Amino acid sequence: KNEVEQSPQNLTAQEGEFITINCSYSVGISALHWLQQHPGGGIVSLFMLSSGKKKHGRLIATINIQEKHSSLHITASHPRDSAVYICAVHNTDKLIFGTGTRLQVFP
């Protein structure tokens, strides 16, 4: 069983839609990361959070430590948001990654 599970695996949306990606984990963590990976392969850190909620522009990330669950929301989605979004948990020295959610936003 994967230690970090994401859903959905694939997501398509029309421009302007509100998007939610979910992440559940089963291990102890010190923090949770949301990352973005573009088709070229590069990985960019979007958020690191250990409690509550963070907002950056149109992106919002929340975490519920008791339920071991986090969500990434994108408001007013845009085609440039198309990417793979990855949840990763910080466990001791390492990050444990989810399998990613492939998001495609169409104009």
Partner 1 sequence: EPEVTQTPSHQVTQMGQEVILRCVPISNHLYFYWYRQILGQKVEFLVSFYNNEISEKSEIFDDQFSVERPDGSNFTLKIRSTKLEDSAMYFCASSVSRGRTDTQYFGPGTRLTVL
Residues that bind partner 1 (CB under 8 A): 30-31, 33, 35, 40-45, 48, 50, 86, 88, 90, 92-100
Q: How far is the CB of 54 from partner 1 (least distance, A)?
A: 12
Q: Which residue do the tokens 């198309």 mark?
A: 82
> What CA–CA distance (Å, rounded) separates 103 from 88?
17
> What CA–CA distance (Å, rounded) separates 22 from 18?
13
Q: How far is the CB of 76 from partner 1 (least distance, A)?
A: 26
Q: How far is the CB of 71 from partner 1 (least distance, A)?
A: 19
Residue 60 or 97: the one with the smaller Cβ distance to partner 1 is 97
Using CB atoms within 10 Å of the CB of residue 49, give its burial: 0 to 12 exposed, 13 to 18 middle, 19+ buried. middle
